[in-house]
Amino acid sequence: MEISPSILSADFGNLLSDIQKVETEKPEYLHIDIMDGHFVPNITIGPLVLNALKGKTEIPFDVHLMIEEPDKYIKEFVDAGAKNITVHQEACVHLDRTLQLIKSMGINASVALNPATSLDTLRYVLSSVDMVLIMTVNPGFGGQVFINGMYEKIRELASIRNERGLNFKIEVDGGINIDNIKDVVLAGADVIVAGSFIFANGDPGENLKKLREAALK
């Protein structure tokens, strides 16, 4: 299991310092949520902020684009240090083209599904993605409650991967904490995104450690 702390719930006035607090626990990725106020009802940050962090942390940037027309901005995010870019199936008219565009820039290409979107929509691209992100809340905000119906979706995706002999990772995003992380991993998740649990209360490094422990219990 890998962890991708989401900086959405970090203190943006002290962003680098919050990132350094999780760095000591060696998270595999740093999850960066990009929202445009159109695809989701919230606005966050853009490549400018990633550029400012680039080179100041060793943690690879796992960029989750919750934006319309992502193709327009992919190069900027790659230049700003993204090592993985995840686009939403619902935001891409030509999903295969968008995934190829990301790959052509030499980084990982991944796709996210909103809770209501079927796994069937990914059938013909699954063999060319590095990761599938299952949203376990409706995207747009941190601190929401995990939607229990998503366990089945994670299990189904893991079984499709197995049947087809594919090796993309399954990332799960939204409402994950020490009470449900183990079940999420047992359902088939490889990469766990956690925002509010890590950054909203107490020490982010300690919280990350607690999550890893809870997953192993």
| Residue 69 near residue 90 (C-beta atoms within 8 A) | no
CA distance 195 to 141: 10
Q: Which residue type does 206 have? A: E
Stretch that binds Zn ion, among 9-17, 26-34, 41-49, 55-63 (CB under 5 A): 26-34
**How open is the CA angle 71-88-194, to the nearest 5 degrees?**
120
Q: With CB cut-offs between 5 and 8 Å by kind, which of ligand DX5, Zn ion, none does residue 171 bind? A: none
CB 95 within 8 A of CB 77: no
Give the active site residue among 18, 33, 36, 62. Answer: 33
Among 64, 153, 161, 210, binds Zn ion (CB under 5 A): 64
Residue with Cβ nearer ligand DX5 (10 or 109)? 10
Residue 79 annotated among the catalytic residues of the structure: no
* Choice between 43 and 216, CB closer to Zn ion: 43
Residue 36 interacting with Zn ion (CB under 5 A): no
Does 173 contact Zn ion by CB under 5 A? yes
Segment 175 to 204, residues that bind Zn ion, using CB under 5 A: none
39 annotated as ligand-binding: no
The rounded distance, in Å, linking the Cα atoms of 111 and 118 is 13
Answer with the entry of ligand DX5, Zn ion, none that 140 interacts with (C-beta below 5 to 8 A by kind): ligand DX5
* CB of residue 141 to Zn ion, shortest distance in Å: 10
Binding residues (CB under 6 A) for ligand DX5: these are: 6, 8-9, 31, 33, 64, 137, 139-140, 142-144, 173-176, 193-197
Q: How far is the CB of 148 from Zn ion (least distance, A)?
A: 19
Is 106 annotated as contributing to ligand binding?
no
CA distance 188 to 205: 25
Is 31 annotated among the ligand-binding residues?
A: yes
* Pair 142, 8: CB distance under 8 Å: yes
Q: CA-CA distance, 82 to 57, in Å (whole number)? A: 12
H-only helix segments in 80-203: 95-104, 150-164, 181-187, 196-199
CA triple 71-8-125, angle to 5 deg: 35
DSSP-assigned beta bridge partners for residue 4: 193
Which residue ranges make up the site for Zn ion (CB under 5 A)? 33, 64, 173
- Please enumerate, by residue number, every residue annotated as part of a binding site for substrate: 6, 64, 140-143, 173-175, 195-196
Q: Which residues are catalytic?
A: 33, 173
- Please enumerate, by residue number, every residue annotated as part of a binding site for a divalent metal cation: 31, 33, 64, 173
